[in-house]
Amino acid sequence: MDALEIKKEYGSLSVEDFRKKVTDLEKALFKSNENVIVKERQELDTLCPLTHSFSEGIYVREMFLPKDTIAIGKIHNKDHTWFLIKGSLLVATEEGVKQIKAPVYFNSKAGCKRLALSLEDSVFINVHPNPKNITDVDELEKELVCSSYEQYEKYKQIKNK
């Protein structure tokens, strides 16, 4: 999938259509036998090295994304800020498709899922709230992300009770 395809396929979708399309793509990629599809954290750490940092109440996750790599993020439970500090990305969200160039930052709303194509070697950083000061990344991910929109909707219902 290249930049033109992403713009064409994801450029003007309704929220529901974007969610279905990006979820279907993610499922298809995970079912694929292509050896270029990263499915496990160990593979991700090799292709797209992650750095985790912690400060009082804050979790910072830095990722290197090589040129021509597609990344599909998880659904975030909480608002957070992310920075592109190096490179250029084509990013598709429920709000459409944007080409962005470093340095830039965005405030991302809870429930957001992104599909990103790196147009050049890129480094981005997510900054998440971490009020419990959890330092185990697997445990922290349980607090911060959902694997499906259905799981996210359940999370919202529980949170709002």
Residue 78: alpha-carbon gap to chain centroid: 13
With 60 as the cut, is the pLDDT of residue 104 above it?
A: yes
Domain boundaries of the chain, sorted by first residue = 3-159
The CATH class that applies to domain 3-159 reads mainly beta
d(CA 85, CA 122): 8
Cα radius of gyration (the chain) = 15
For residue range 33-69, what is the model confidence (pLDDT) as tens digits?
A: 765 555 555 566 677 889 999 999 999 999 999 998 8
Q: What is the rounded average pLDDT for all residues in the chain?
A: 89
- The pLDDT score that the predictor gives to residue 4 is 83
> 156-161, long-range: CB within 8 Å, 24+ apart, which pairs?
156/110, 156/111
pTM of the model: 0.84
- The pLDDT score that the predictor gives to residue 36 is 53
Q: Which letter does DSSP use for residue 114 in this model?
A: -
For residue range 130-160, what is the model confidence (pLDDT) as tens digits?
A: 999 999 999 999 999 998 999 999 998 888 7
